[in-house]
Chains A and B, each alone.
Chain A
């Protein structure tokens, strides 16, 4: 199966052939993957160098003269290192552009803190008008990218190394709209990006517990689909969010803000604790340790969401 990074390169190739204003700037990442774009779109591909703030800054200059720039490199080098360029050169000046990163959260598990980035959505949400996406399949990326890349907004796409395998049709994907994957009445499970994979795996054991799940999938972090979330919480009054992001400033915060007027709702979250990840190992090991697992979901549901009486009534057999 092609990686999402390969898919990203193929999508740029397709869209670049259609739109002569698409220009790609990279910081020496995915250089070989993007050669098909470079050949098909001469003069519109630049491996600028290892100088991310300048890449972002010059992309804003390209936008100023009418291009639709795509800046691509590893998440922390754009979001953390080049934040002021995103804020001032793009966002404040209302210039449109596209940031497409790999290596968000802990995808580069064993490379340590320098290559981790799990506060990206929190930081980017402070930039008014910015649109944030976490597409975890090719069809999601291509559909969302085509919807927004030339619309004059600053768009951040975080592309995971490990996506999910749920199949969407492009007609299902709309910027700013969450997707109800499964209807249920006992629990709202909100899965963001790649963690739809884990959420889907948890459906069977939750079903065995007698818990019917309203499964909501979020590919667009901003604008946040408060309407669908509230509709679901109004029904279930129980909510678990699973997201590969810091416990601060992710989708869980958006859910709380959107639904605070609803009474008697229980909330739980599986996210990255407010602490540096200092371990190495693999992505899968990080997931297991941090609770991004079926066991993690079941434990949260049992410990924080279901009524004690329900446990006593033996609905659960963990």
Chain B
């Protein structure tokens, strides 16, 4: 089995182990998408996080923030010390991203169903000014239980926000609670341009971003990324016990061992 971004996954585990708690599986399900976005899709300047010409990435499922943090560290927005201090009293980083503290975190999220509304507003603002920045928001399939997600689905299509792309981390969380299928047909019916990919397959992620044209006169896009919660560590690839916790020392060893076993 091909597992990408093993080092980033290890950094996520380290971060959450140091912090004492966190959402490892939720971060593992999105890390491959984030790694691709920051390496190949998004324009940004870590020295000037508010650069007017940057692209906007908004992590609406804020509990997956460990993935965002290790990416922000990789590209120089934040430091290793920032990661090491996560969740300490005076730390920059906490268990959900905070736009008032974290350079590169575009929105304070955590309460689900908010980041997508912020993204709609950002995309509308850029469209009013006819700026070419891309807006990408990542939501969870569990988050898609929130009514505001569907309000945004209506509004995004009605305003033709073709500069906006919503990625759905379709890791099966909602299926544990409420049936949301058929997701593709739902978004299609709301008037969005739909793409479906394997969110852990770099080739498919790359191909979809070659196809998508960010153009504020077109339809908004949605990418349904089929993912696995906890992807890369077999005993974490489940819903429930690992959702919010830090590994014990002996579990840590098993996690690293399994991640190393994927190294080619």
Contacts and interface: CB of A to CB of B under 8 A. Distances in A.
Contacts of B148: 51, 53-54, 57
B164 to A, nearest CB: 10
A276 interface: no
Contacts of B158: 49
Interface of B: 99-100, 106-108, 111, 114, 117-126, 128-129, 147-148, 151-152, 154-155, 158-159
Interface of A: 23, 43-44, 46, 48-49, 51, 53-54, 56-67, 69, 84-85, 88-89, 92-94
Contacts of A54: 117, 120, 148, 151-152, 155
A63 to B, nearest CB: 8
Contacts, number: 91
Contact of A61 (B122, B129, B151): B122
B100 A92 contact: yes
Contacts of A23: 125, 128
Contact of B121 (A57, A84, A92): A57
A19 to B, nearest CB: 13
A85 B114 CA distance: 7
A297 to B, nearest CB: 44
Q: From DSSP, what is the main secondary structure of chain B's interface residues? A: helix
A67 B131 CA distance: 14
Nearest 9 Cβ contacts at the A-B interface: A61-B121, A57-B117, A58-B121, A65-B125, A51-B151, A54-B151, A61-B122, A61-B118, A58-B120
A85 B148 CA distance: 10
A61 B123 CA distance: 8
Contacts of A58: 117-118, 120-121, 124, 152, 155
A309 to B, nearest CB: 58
Contacts of B128: 23, 43-44, 67
B107 to A, nearest CB: 7
A53 B100 contact: no
Contact of B120 (A44, A57, A92): A57
B131 to A, nearest CB: 8
A44 B107 CA distance: 23
Given A57-B152, A58-B118, 14 more contacts: A51-B148, A53-B147, A57-B118, A59-B121, A61-B122, A62-B121, A64-B121, A64-B122, A69-B121, A85-B114, A89-B118, A93-B99, A93-B107, A93-B108
Contacts of B99: 93
A62 B124 contact: yes
Q: Name the residue among A49, A64, A88 with the largest chain B CB count within 10 angstroms.
A: A64
Q: Name the residue among B99, B123, B155 with the largest chain A CB count within 10 angstroms.
A: B155
A61 B117 contact: yes
A94 B155 contact: no
Contacts of A63: 121
A64 B151 contact: no
Nearest to A66: B125
A88 B110 CA distance: 10
Contact of A93 (B100, B111, B155): B100
A162 to B, nearest CB: 33
A88 B123 CA distance: 19
B102 to A, nearest CB: 12
Contacts of A48: 155
A98 to B, nearest CB: 14
B73 to A, nearest CB: 22
Contacts of B107: 64, 89, 93
B158 to A, nearest CB: 7
A92 B125 contact: no
Nearest to A63: B121
A67 B148 CA distance: 22
Nearest to B146: A53
A60 B118 contact: yes
B178 to A, nearest CB: 20
A53 B148 CA distance: 7
Nearest to B119: A61
B111 A88 contact: yes
16 contacts: A23-B128, A51-B151, A51-B155, A54-B155, A57-B120, A58-B121, A58-B124, A61-B120, A62-B121, A64-B125, A65-B121, A65-B125, A84-B111, A89-B107, A89-B117, A89-B118
Contacts of B159: 46
